[in-house]
Amino acid sequence: MPIFPPSGGFIQAIRQSSRELRVAEEISIAPDHINRLLLSPAFVDSFQRVSKNHGLALPLKFSSTLDELNFLSVLSLLNFASGYRVPLHIQTGRGAWDSIRALAFSLYITSSSEGDLISAKGLKTLDAAQIAEFMGISLHVERPHENIPGVVVGELGGPLHDLVQLIVSVLNETGGILVNSGYPNLGSFVLEALQQAGKVHAEAQVEVVLEKLVRAFPGFRDMSEVNGRPIYCFKKALFLIHAITIRFGSIDPPPFPIPSTSHLPVFSDNVLPSLLVHLGVIDLSRSSSLSGLFPGAGSEAGLRGLLDPVPTSTTSVPGALKGVPKEGPIVTEAQAYILRAAAIDACELITELAHSLDFSSLGKGKEWISEMTLPDLDMWIWAVAKDRPEYRVLERFAARDTVYF
pLDDT tens digits for 236-265?
A: 999 999 999 999 999 999 999 999 999 999
- The answer to whether the Cα torsion of 56, 60, 61, 64 is positive or negative is negative
Nearest to 380, CA basis, from 337, 335, 403, 350: 350
* 122-177 confidence digits (pLDDT tens): 999 999 999 999 999 999 877 787 888 888 777 788 899 999 999 999 999 999 99
Q: In this model, does residue 203 exceed pLDDT 80?
A: yes
Specify burial of residue 199 (Cβ count, 10 A radius: 0-12, 13-18, 19+): exposed
Residues 6+ apart with CB under 8 A from 4: 211, 214, 215
Beta bridge partners of 155: 141
For 226-242, write each residue's pLDDT tens digit: 999 999 999 999 999 99
Query: Rounded to an integer, what distance in angstroms lies between the CA atom of residue 233 and that of residue 224?
Result: 9
**Cross-strand pairs, 226:** 229
Angle subtended at Cα 215 by Cα 175 and Cα 98, rounded to the nearest 5 degrees: 55
- d(C-alpha 300, C-alpha 160), whole Å: 37
Residue 180 has pLDDT above 50, yes or no: yes
Q: How far is CA 157 from CA 6, 164, 214, 282, 324, in A?
A: 41, 10, 31, 36, 21
The per-residue pLDDT for 31 is 97
